[in-house]
Each structure stands twice: as structure tokens, then as C-alpha cells.
Structure 1
Amino acid sequence: MAGMQASRRAAIMRAFSLVIASVSAIAAGWAFLHIIGGDEPNWLDFLRAGLLFIATFWLVFGGLVGVIGAFASKTMITCVPTLPTGKTVVLIPIYNEDPVETFARIAAMNREIVALGVASRFDFAILSDTTNLEVAAQEIDAFELLTREPEAEARIFYRRRERNTGRKAGNIEDFVRNSGAAYDYAVILDADSLMEGKTLIALAERMDNDPRLGLLQTVPTVINADSLFGRMMAFSAAYLSPFFARGAALAQGDEGPYWGHNAIVRVRAFAQCCGLPVLSGRPPWGGHILSHDYVEAALLSRGGWKVRMDPAIPGSYEHGPENLIEYAKRDRRWCQGNLQHHKVLAAPKLKFWNRFTLLQGIMAYLASPIWLALMITSLLATAYPDSPGERLQFAPWILGVGVAAVLLLPKLAIALRGAFDGTNAQFGGTARVLLSTLGEIVISTIMAPILLAFQTRAVIQIFLGLDGGWPATERDAQVVPMKTAIGASWWIMLVGVITIGFTMVEAPAFVLWLLPVTVPAVLAPLIIRLTSHSASSPLMKNIFSIVTERQVVPVIAENKRILQQWSKPQPVSVAPAVVELTAENA
């Protein structure tokens, strides 16, 4: 009965969101065409109306998710440790990461598992795809430290592949094929992930209690952020994301997402359903699927398994990029992976909502060049008008106000809801939350043109056939040198200058409307550098305050203690043999 009610609720939420987004898009396109084109719209007017229709649909749909989440009922979950029935392995795929930092997180999680008395039900497997030989040697040294941890013998394993075929997805597939029979469930983490012991137990219990549950995705909180960019992202992830995730979960039902980490999967279901194809053609369109997670979620749903997301599960953490350059580098890989999904959309027997989710992921990146195309065509039409309607200079302002309203409404609704359900109190009170939300809005608005430029360049590169690969992520918080910032964004600055110059000459009435876009573009290197500076001052910590900074989280504190201890010179000892886990020796 509960399952039927959840399915019915998901169907209602999907229909509501799609109808409202469609009506809004049609209304925006019609109004724009009517105001701009007048009685005799030309082909450029129709083109812009079409672009606005597409952009509005996805903008409104995304905003509705946040509004629905703000008004949805809040579920509280308390993780009470018991002994799970199934055997779980915690998988940590790594690729040229800092071994000491990564392995220290594993040690902290293991200590909690041991302290809770459930070590017999949880193993850890480090799956290295590291290509840097120096880093690989450091991994062996760090693994030797892990072997000294409580009850580590025959529970913590490490192996390194000589060839990283299929990258992360291939790494996990290799483990499932060779060692998966030893386990009922697998908690998949990233190298920067961290989970409380109680959370690991709660995830395994959810699997024990629902034999049709194939995957359960948590909503991780960003921790240990130091830069202004990082702290803003951490506040957004800790405060805003759970509400957006709650709205998304209501519409997704049993056909939810998988983000590739901080989730638990049923190994048997994963082995049955999630063998990924190698796409035809060469990268960036072909080859191994980079954004494997959404495809794996769709394949699990196709196989009849439930795929759910639960933002109410506490104790799931990750690190995030500390500056715009690192964010853009990671986003470039996601862009290529998401655009590859156009080859998966027509796969047989996929469920409708999984196809829609794949399409949504594609549009998340095509939206940037669509908005840019709308601005360019509007600028050209204003510079060279051929209809009386083009002289209505208030039209761009109407569009700007509409976009701002759609972007701001969900965040303000969340702040209002948080004042009544106790969420704001956990973040320092409503006044502090409103100040933090305002700061997030201002900073994200300033950075938006830069991100739009990076995403548009990524899409263009992919259409030109340029493969972005899978670059290693630099997670340390360091101020971006001005030379590096200029090297990464000089072209954005140049485009901004050219746009301002062209507009001042050909369409001076359009200059003021473009300033919110062109000024951040011209100042892109400075913005990249300034937002990479440390924001650990008392003022900044008060603005972007998150729960994990306001109270002691044992696993985070333990991780810091272990990292501090391991960073000191260690006594020389013989490195242990690398143990490969198989079903036979488990």
C-alpha cells in the first residue's frame, strides 16, 4: 500500500511539474514574440522565442523542484546502530589522489565501525586506478598505516589496476566481477567521501528491510571548505540542497538518481543490470561512458529494482572544489559524460522518467549555450532592428525580472520554511540564514556569467570532437595565482570587452541590460582569484555557517586527528603485501 501511494504521489508531482513548466515556457515564448515582434515578427523573432521557450521550461522545472521541496513534509531519520544481516563492502575508487588524506578518512570510518561492534559486517576495499608511479608508491605506504588500524586484518583491502579500463565505472565493475560474490551490499564512496559509522549501518539496514531496493542515494554535505567559493558551495549543499533533493525525490519515486558516490547498492542487482556498453565512435561522443551513474540508475530501474534518494539520511559527507577553475575542470568532465547520454536515450525498455532524467542532464549543459544564443540574437536584433517592436526597450528588463524571480523564489521559500521547521536554528537562526542565502545569491549571480562561459566552451569543444579525458582533482584550498586565473579566463575577459564595445557602438540602449553579464566576464580573473581566498574569518564563518561547524561530528574530528598523526614522520617498516579480495578468500 505504501509503495502504491508513493508511486501515485510521484506521478502527481511529475505531472504538476511538467504542466507548470510547459505552460510557463509557452507563455514566455508567446509574450516575448508578441512584445518584440509586434504584428509582423520575422525569423529572428521566432528563433529567439523558441530559444526562450526551451530555456524557460528547464529553468522553471528546476525551480519548481526547490519550491516543492520547501513545502513538502520533512522526514527525520535517527540512525540507531544494530547488526545488519547482510555483508557490506565500502568501495573507495581512487585516481592519483592524496593517499594520506584519502586513507585517513577510511581509518576514521573503520574506527567508528569497530567501536559500534559491527566490524564483522563491514569491509573496506580501496580500488586504485592511479597512473602516477610516485603516488602509487605513496599509496602502499599509506596502506601500511591502515593495516595498523583496529581489526584491519582481512577487512581492509587494496589493489591497483595496471590499466584503468573504463575509468571509475570500469574499476567498480572489475571489483564486482572478481569479488562481488562475497558481499550483499556495496557502499560506493569517492576519494573525498566520509560517512559516519551509524550512517553506514543505517544504509545496510535499509537494504535488509527492503529486498527490492537496488540503490539508495544519500545527499552529502560538503565539509572542510575554506575558500569563499568553497564555503558558499558548502552552505548551498548543507542548507539548500536537501530541500531541492526532497522535491526531486517526491517526483522521482522509485526511479531516482545515482550520483556515483555516497550511495549503497545491492551487489546482486548491480551485477545483473549495470554492465555498461562501450559507445560507438571515438571520444568525446563515443567510448566508455563518463557519467556512468545516471545510466546505472536507469538500468537498475529497467531491471525492476527500486532506486531511491533520501535526503533525510544524516552523516554523509564529501569535500568540494575550492575555486572556480577546479570546479570548471570537474564540470567539463560531467558535461562530456552527460552529452554522451544522447546515445542512451533510445535504449530499449528504459522507464519514461529515467529517459527524462537523462535528457534533463543533457539540457543542464546545453542550457548555457542556449541562453548565450538568446543574448547574442537579441543584441543583433537590437543593433539592426527591422520591426517597430524592437524599439520596446523594456522587454529585456521583463525577461531579466522573470529569470530572477524563478531563481530566487525557491531559495526564499526554503528560508521561510526553515524558519518554521527548526532548520534555520541549526544554521544559527533565521537572520543568519537570510544573510547567508543573500550572500549565496549575490556571489552565484556574479559567478554565473563565468560559469556560463566555461560550460559553453565545454559544449563547443565536445561538438568539435575534443576529448576532455578524466583529469585528477586538486582539492587543497590554495589561493589561485593571478597568472593562473588570467591563463584560465583571459578569453572570457576578451569576449566581455568586445561585447561591451560592440554594444556601445551598435546598440547603446542595450548596454545597461548587459552589464550584469559583461562586467563579471571582464573581471573574470579577479573574481576567480578573490573567491579562492580563505574565508575562515569569524565574519565569513558566521555568514556561511553550516551544522558540521557548529557542533562536533565525531567522525570528522577523528579524521582530523588521524590526518595530523599520519602527517608526522612514520617509523620505517616493511611494506605489507597488497591483498586482492576475492570471493574465495573473503
Structure 2
Amino acid sequence: MTQLPDPTMSLPAAPLADHLATGCAEGVQDTRGTDLMPPVMPMEMPEQDFTAPFQDRQAPQGAPRPQVALWRILAFSPAMLATAALTWVMQGWFAIGGFMGLELLLLALIAFNFFWICFSVSTVILGLYSLSQRDRSRPTGQVTPMQVALLVPVYNESPWYVLGNVRAMLEELSRVDGAHSYAMFILSDTRDEELAAQERLSVEALRADLPPGTALYYRRRARNTGRKVGNISNWLRHWGAGYEAMLVLDADSLMTGRAIARLTDALSRDPCAGLIQSFPQLIGAQSIFGRMQQFANGVYGLALAEGLARWTGHEGNYWGHNAILRTRAFAACAGLPKLRSRLSGREHLIMSHDFVEAGLLRRAGWRVRFLPRLGGSYEETPATLVDHILRDRRWCQGNLQHLNLLGARGFFAMSRFHLLHGAIGYLMAPIWFALLVIWALIGLGEDRSVIHYFSITNPSRPSWPDMSEPRHVLVILLIYAMLLAPKLLAVLALAMTGRRLDQYGGPARFALSTLCEILLAVLYAPILMVQQMIAVLRTTFGIQRGWSAQAREGGHYGLRHLLICHALETLSGFALSGGILAGFVSLWLLPIALSLVLAVPLSALSGWRAGTSRRGWMATPVVYAEPQITRAADRYRRSFKRYLDMQRQHPAE
């Protein structure tokens, strides 16, 4: 049986004076509710210097993996060759009369976009090959018992929601056999006093109801200095020395006891590993937009994740949750300083900290691994298009910061690539928008284009190709096909992972769900392109600030809010449609124009309920056969909600 330490046990603590003398974080005075915490077990967490390399002397020197070079060649080379071939073909269209600056810009934009499209395809193909190679070997290495802290940072979350998840995971852990010991920590940064009171009340009620020997702790900081980074580092500096590993969870995270034990075993067997990331599967989606993302994650995600694991090797990435970290390695190597802005000179928090922390761990000599086939790791997704956009704006702000760290000393090339890739994911949006505008201006050729081109007597303007010619249409179709290829290829992964179509409602319902997901993805893609471009502009001009709590069940947005939110898409769509009707713009842009014109109704549609498990849209195995842990979490959430409602109606005098 897995050992769960008693919440009342006394951990050996350093004298308080010694603790304060180390300068650990913000001091005990900055925390509340420490009566629900174990005694202080401090450890140092120095801030790292991006201008100097760093090597952790405690990091074991593991054997290199020479085969990872082959996987990287197989991932990058096809994308580079395909991009070069397309660029060579298209440059022939502009070669007559010599190249102009705008033509070179257009070619560069097309090549840049096409490379990343091809790279996704080659990654999925690698993943399919990897999945076809059944791994029959058993894990090697001795498992030594570890003290593991499960950390749940919360910020203005619904207490009944968080505690329902926590209870379900504690219940799962109580049934797992193993040598490891686990303790659950709720680390609150909640600013709302009413929510904070409900958090503490819920934790106290749960502690009283748990079996003896179950470890559940709660701490609320008086100031949320450093946001989530500060929350985790505060715990490390005060209590981290008591635990050899920490498993970081989000408020919407769920992990089965088996998945937690397997992650812990993997870290225990690999003394060179500083971080091991699981592949979270999306669950709980009830809306059309949420179900669309959940279906894509459940059907296409594993092949992409498996390919990613192949070419990243020991230079993997960290997504900030559902991952286990070696506590002392993380404290010694991943302390984040503030980042000084090159424009304003002011210091800012590193918002998307996870990518940077993974790079720092690898820089110091620790492995960062990814286990996509672990299973039993879950999270939820935004319910509506607007909620997705709001989250995307926060993520955009953090990922664009990474551009300032590409020159950090000591980072591995693959760590720099992760940082660049995250930023490019958002920079692609304005590039796509620029291509859309140029394509619209090119129109149907010189005679009917919005742009009036000059003759040979005035060669300062480029002579654009007629984009309606069959050979050019074939290239356009090729780009569309490459965009869809990862989805269509990843369907093959179902057979390789042992899944059956009846787990998706049967062949007919699976085919219908796949078509619905592709159609919705095509419709929402132009809207997301415009919104990501807005997010880039908001970040560039300093408009995007803050990191508000996510609406877990989805916000309720009226017509006025939707009209304001999607004004740019709607206006762009009408302008594009007008150009098509007037004959100035190619008919091939009609799907994009239709999507942009319908941005408001599509956004409203995104929040509609997707239906029941048997008749719902785009259902996956987690819908048809809901995992036990998600059923338990839902039951406990309802129980906590009733309890808190009753406490509000009849507060103790």
C-alpha cells in the first residue's frame, strides 16, 4: 500500500532563526494558514543568471543518446527540403523581369509558413513510426522510495472544484501499491477573501473526512509576489527540503494514482532526470468548442506527442503542470530572475515560466524527458471561443517574452528551439494575415486586380502572377492538404494504440465526428488567426497585462460583448467578401471570408452544449467510457458545492 504521511506528523525542522538567516523567499510572515502546514523545512533557491553558463555539480553525467540525432534529421530535413522545393517553384513565377522587394517578402512569408506546416507533418509521421514499434521492454533500474509533494497552486478558483479534484486523487493514491510517500499541498494565491475563506473551510472539512494517515496541507500567501512562479518558489524555500520530488498540478488537473506512481517510478529509476512531463488528455468538455479540442487531442494528439518525444530526447519541454520534478535540482537550477525589457528598461516577471525552467534544468546538466504514453493524466480546456482567446492572450504575452532569452548563455540548442517555437506559434498569425492581404490584393491577375500594375515603361512595380492559373491553384491545394495532413495521418494512430472505433461510437459516428472537427477547425482557424494577431499587437504595445483566473465552466457572453470582441474579423470578412463579389479577389478566399463574416455567430455557437455521451458531437473514449477518477471528481465537486452553499446559508455564529 502506498504510504501517506500523517498530516500531524512532525518533520525535522531547522531553527526559525537559521531559516530566516538563509534569506529564503519572503519569510514565514508572508503566509497565512500555516497551522495547516508541516513544520518549515527550508532550502535555498538562488536566482539564475542568463548571462553566464551554469552547471549543477549534483547532476549525474548520464550516457548520451546518439540515436536522437537521427530522429532530429528525420524531423527537420523533410520540412526543409519540401520548403526549398516549394520556394524554388514559386520563385519561377516572379523571375520574369527580375525580383522586386515585395516579391521577395512574399516568398519569404510563404516559405516561413510552409516550413512549420511541413514540420508538423514530419513530426506526426515520426510519431506514427514510433507507435508502430511496440515497446515490449520493461522499465529498468531500481526504484528507491521517494517523498513526493503534490502541489496545486490556485488563484481565485472555485474551492469546490479544486477540492473535488484533490479528493479524487487522494482516493486514487490510497489504492495504489508502491514504496513512495505522497503529500498534497493546496498553495493558495487567492485574493478574494470570500473565496479564501471557502478554501480553508473546504480543506478543514476534507482533512476531517479523510482516512488517518492521509497528508493534506493548505497555505495561503498574504501577497502573491511573483504569481505562480513565486507561489512554487515560496513553497520550495520554506518546505521543499522535506521532499525529494514535487508533482506540479493545475487547478483543473487530474491524475490517476497509477499515473502518479509511474511518473514517480520513472524519476526514481533515472537519477539523471530533473523533470519528466506527462501528456495530459483533455476531459470534461461539454461545449461544442471544448468537444472539438477534446476530440482533436484524443485522436490526433498522441501521434504528434510521440513524434515530439522522439526528436526532443533528453532536451524535452515543460508545460507547467502534470509533470514531476526533482526538488533539489529544480531549486538549485531554475530560480527565475525578473526579465528586463529592452524597450522600457523595466523589469518584468517571466510569465510563461515553464519553457524557461525546462531550459535551465537542461543547461545545468539534468535531463528533461517526455512520456507521452503514460496515460491517466488529464486536464480541461476552455469551454468557449472567447475563453480560449482570453487564455491565448496571456500565453502570447509569455511566449513572446522568450525571444529575449534566445541568447541566454549555456542553453542547449533544442531548448532555444522550444523558446523560439513557442513565440513563432503566435507570430505566425500576423504572417498569415499579411499573406491573406497580399493574396487578396493580387486578385485574379493584372487586368482585374485591385492593384493597378505599371507597364514595362514603368518597371518599378512588380508584375504579379495570375493566382487563378491551374498550376498556382495546385500549389494552393498543396498548402491546404499539408494543413490537413497531420489530422488525417494521426487517425492511423488509433489502430497502433489498440483503440477501436466502437470506443468512438462506431465507424459511422467516428467518421462524422472527424468531419465535424475538421469543418469546425477550418471555420475557426481564420478567426483565431485574427485574434492571435491582436494578441501579438496587444503584447507589443504593452496593452496586455495581468494574468486573470480562467473561467473553468466558460463565461456567458452577450451579443454586445461578442460584437466588440470580433469586430475586426467581421469587418475584414465583409471587405474580403466585397472584393470577391466585385471580382477583384480570388474565389479561393471565399471559405476564409465566410468564416470571418460569421465570427459572431460562430463564437456564440462555440458555447452550445455538445449533447449527451451517446448522442453528443465529437465524443471520445473519455466520454463514452468516462474514467473512474473523473466520475469521482465530479461527485466530490457536487458534494463540496452543496456543503459550501449550506455554510453560506447557515454560517456558524
Give the structure-1-normalised TM-score.
0.90
Q: For the structure 1 residues 39 and 423, does the alpha-carbon distance in structure 2 shift closer, same or farther, using more than 3 Å as the test?
A: farther
Establish whether residue 309 from structure 1 lines up as the match of residue 370 from structure 2: yes
How far apart are residue 567 of structure 1 and its match? 2.3
| 1:544 corresponds to | 618
| 1:500 corresponds to | 577
Contact in 2 for aligned 1:29/1:53 (Cα 8 Å): yes
AA partner of residue 540 (structure 2) = F
How far apart are residue 502 of structure 1 and its match? 4.6
Once the two structures are aligned, what percentage of the paired residues are identical? 34
**Alignment partner of 2:221 out of 135, 151, 161:** 161
Moved more, 86-95 or 145-154: 145-154
**Cα deviation code 1:463-515 (max 9, x no counterpart):** 2222332021001146643333223212221222123335555xx25241221
| 2:353 corresponds to | 292
Q: For the structure 1 residues 161 and 399, does the alpha-carbon distance in structure 2 shift closer, same or farther, using more than 3 Å as the test?
A: farther
Name the CA distance, whole Å, in 1 between partners of 2:271 and 2:259.
19
Name the CA distance, whole Å, in 1 between partners of 2:254 and 2:497.
27
**Alignment partner of 1:237 out of 269, 278, 297:** 297
Contact in 1 for aligned 2:164/2:637 (Cα 8 Å): yes
Name the CA distance, whole Å, in 1 between partners of 2:475 and 2:287.
33
Contact in 2 for aligned 1:415/1:434 (Cα 8 Å): no
**Alignment partner of 2:84 out of 19, 23, 26:** 26
Q: For the structure 1 residues 452 and 210, does the alpha-carbon distance in structure 2 shift closer, same or farther, using more than 3 Å as the test?
A: same
Establish whether residue 397 from structure 1 lines up as the match of residue 397 from structure 2: no
| 1:65 corresponds to | 123
Q: For the structure 1 residues 415 and 489, does the alpha-carbon distance in structure 2 shift closer, same or farther, using more than 3 Å as the test?
A: same
| 1:516 corresponds to | 591
Map 1:185-334; keep pairs closer than 5 Å. 185-281=245-341, 287-334=348-395
Establish whether residue 409 from structure 1 lines up as the match of residue 485 from structure 2: yes
How far apart are residue 389 of structure 1 and its match? 4.6
Establish whether residue 533 from structure 1 lines up as the match of residue 608 from structure 2: yes
> Could you say what the CA RMSD is over the residues aligned between the two structures, in angstroms?
2.7
AA partner of residue 409 (structure 1) = A
Moved more, 357-366 or 25-34: 25-34
Contact in 1 for aligned 2:145/2:180 (Cα 8 Å): no
Name the CA distance, whole Å, in 1 between partners of 2:521 and 2:102.
31
Moved more, 140-149 or 567-576: 567-576
Q: SS in structure 2 opposite 1:159?
A: strand
**Cα deviation code 1:303-351 (max 9, x no counterpart):** 1111111111011111110011111111111111111001111111111
AA partner of residue 525 (structure 1) = V
How far apart are residue 9 of structure 1 and its match? 2.6
How far apart are residue 42 of structure 1 and its match? 2.2
Establish whether residue 343 from structure 1 lines up as the match of residue 410 from structure 2: no
Q: For the structure 1 residues 229 and 392, does the alpha-carbon distance in structure 2 shift closer, same or farther, using more than 3 Å as the test?
A: closer
Contact in 2 for aligned 1:83/1:118 (Cα 8 Å): no
Name the CA distance, whole Å, in 1 between partners of 2:183 and 2:117.
43
| 1:581 corresponds to | none
Moved more, 381-390 or 527-536: 381-390
Contact in 2 for aligned 1:96/1:472 (Cα 8 Å): yes
AA partner of residue 236 (structure 2) = V
**Cα deviation code 1:210-231 (max 9, x no counterpart):** 1111111111111111001111
Map 1:373-384; keep pairs closer than 5 Å. 373-382=434-443, 383-384=450-451
In structure 2, runs of 5+ residues without a counterpart are 1-61, 444-449, 455-461
Q: SS in structure 1 opposite 2:547?
A: coil
How far apart are residue 112 of structure 1 and its match? 1.7
Contact in 2 for aligned 1:176/1:271 (Cα 8 Å): yes
Name the CA distance, whole Å, in 2 between partners of 1:184 and 1:512.
61
Q: SS in structure 1 opposite 2:197?
A: helix
**Cα deviation code 1:356-398 (max 9, x no counterpart):** 1111111111111111111212333442245555234236633
| 2:5 corresponds to | none
How far apart are residue 453 of structure 1 and its match? 0.6
| 1:579 corresponds to | none
Establish whether residue 130 from structure 1 lines up as the match of residue 199 from structure 2: no
Contact in 2 for aligned 1:37/1:390 (Cα 8 Å): no
Contact in 2 for aligned 1:207/1:213 (Cα 8 Å): yes
| 2:547 corresponds to | 470
Q: SS in structure 2 opposite 1:7?
A: coil
Name the CA distance, whole Å, in 2 between partners of 1:224 and 1:76.
30
Moved more, 194-203 or 24-33: 24-33
Moved more, 175-184 or 83-92: 83-92
| 1:101 corresponds to | 161
In structure 1, runs of 5+ residues without a counterpart are 577-586
**Cα deviation code 1:119-159 (max 9, x no counterpart):** 97000111111122222122122222221232477721111
Name the CA distance, whole Å, in 1 between partners of 2:89 and 2:565.
39
AA partner of residue 488 (structure 2) = L
Contact in 2 for aligned 1:332/1:468 (Cα 8 Å): no
**Alignment partner of 1:48 out of 73, 93, 106:** 106
Give the structure-2-normalised TM-score.
0.82
Q: For the structure 1 residues 392 and 62, does the alpha-carbon distance in structure 2 shift closer, same or farther, using more than 3 Å as the test?
A: closer
**Cα deviation code 1:137-194 (max 9, x no counterpart):** 2212222222123247772111111222221112111111111100011110000001
Contact in 2 for aligned 1:323/1:532 (Cα 8 Å): yes
Moved more, 565-574 or 150-159: 565-574
Moved more, 315-324 or 390-399: 390-399
| 2:9 corresponds to | none
Name the CA distance, whole Å, in 2 between partners of 1:264 and 1:364.
26
Moved more, 131-140 or 207-216: 131-140
Q: SS in structure 2 opposite 1:211?
A: coil
Contact in 2 for aligned 1:285/1:336 (Cα 8 Å): no
AA partner of residue 207 (structure 1) = L
Contact in 1 for aligned 2:300/2:486 (Cα 8 Å): no
| 2:149 corresponds to | 89
Q: SS in structure 2 opposite 1:17?
A: helix
How far apart are residue 209 of structure 1 and its match? 1.0
Q: How many residues align?
A: 568
Name the CA distance, whole Å, in 2 between partners of 1:186 and 1:283.
36
| 2:416 corresponds to | 355
Contact in 2 for aligned 1:88/1:186 (Cα 8 Å): yes
Q: For the structure 1 residues 478 and 165, does the alpha-carbon distance in structure 2 shift closer, same or farther, using more than 3 Å as the test?
A: closer
Name the CA distance, whole Å, in 2 between partners of 1:361 and 1:498.
31
**Alignment partner of 2:566 out of 489, 495, 515:** 489
| 1:568 corresponds to | 642
Moved more, 134-143 or 42-51: 134-143
Name the CA distance, whole Å, in 1 between partners of 2:526 and 2:95.
27
Contact in 1 for aligned 2:338/2:348 (Cα 8 Å): yes
Contact in 2 for aligned 1:321/1:474 (Cα 8 Å): yes
